[in-house]
Amino acid sequence: MEETLKVANILSDPTRYYIYQYITRRHKDVSVVEVAEVFDIHPNVARLHLSKLEEGHMLVSATRKTGKGGRPSRLYRLSDEVIELSFPNRDYQTLARMAIETMLSMGDAGSEALFKTGEKYGRDLAYEYAKQIDEEPKNLSFDHKLAILKEVSEKAGFSPEFVIPAHQANVQFKVFNCPFKEIASEHQEAVCGAHHAFIRGMFNALFESIELHAEDNIISGCPACVYRVQMAH
């Protein structure tokens, strides 16, 4: 309870809350100067907000030499520590572990069911969202489809980023936040497989045919899960 009150108090300041949101979407380290400029506040005020977020274990910091001489710069990034607020208390991670371990105990049939369900959830989420715009989502433009996928990915907690080449046929999709990270650390093959299926379902809801290839993985120590998506549109 004490930790919950501490986090709630830290995020009760609107500026501090929006600074935290900014950093979650930045996908890289930020400095005091950058935060001060973006939010039009004095660097000392920016430093105070960042220090408070670090005290709450929401950020971590490290000093880094700039290569220009002078004092090293302190840079801030998101902490890997999970902060949860729940009233009354809920424990969905234990339920997730129970479900995963039950499916794994069923062997190949359990894994196949998990991946099939993951793909269905991803497809349904993207399709239902797109249907609010067009009754036949696959008729939407390429740019509109990607905009929908980005919004759906944000809603799913992926903190996504798309890298789109000029020919548009080979998109790189980056996931900077894994919503299943704690469970994936214990059951990587099963959880990452379900996550892969979920993403494939999202893209299949809007594109006629896709091929999804995993290139990097957060659980393996990479800064993001990176997928290469080959698609027809």
Domains of the chain: 2-78 (1.10.10.10), 96-231 (3.30.1380.20)
Whole-angstrom CA distances from 171 to 71, 143, 225 are 40, 12, 14
- Specify the pLDDT at position 232: 66
Q: Is the pLDDT of residue 160 over 80?
A: yes
Whole-angstrom CA distances from 168 to 61, 122, 175 are 37, 22, 19
User: At 139, which amino acid appears?
Assistant: N
pLDDT band (50, 70, 90) for residue 170: confident
- Specify the pLDDT at position 69: 60
Q: Report if pTM > 0.85.
A: no
Residue 60 burial (10 A CB sphere; 0-12, 13-18, 19+): middle
Q: How many other C-beta atoms are found inside a 10 Å radius of the C-beta of residue 153?
A: 23
Q: Which has more confidence, 233 or 232?
A: 232
Instruction: Give the C-alpha separation, 12 to 27, whole Å.
Output: 23
- Specify the pLDDT at position 70: 63
pLDDT tens-digit series, residues 198-226: 999 999 999 988 999 999 999 888 889 99
pLDDT tens-digit series, residues 51-105: 999 998 899 999 887 666 667 789 999 887 777 776 677 888 899 999 999 999 9
- Specify the pLDDT at position 82: 73
Q: What is the mean pLDDT of the chain?
A: 89
Average pLDDT over residues 132-153: 87
Geometric angle at alpha carbon 154, from 117 and 175, rounded to 5°: 75
User: At 193, which amino acid appears?
Assistant: G
Average pLDDT over residues 40-45: 96
Each residue of 169-208: b (16+ CB within 10 Å) or e? eebebbbbbbebeebbeebeebbbbbbbbbbbbbbbbbbe
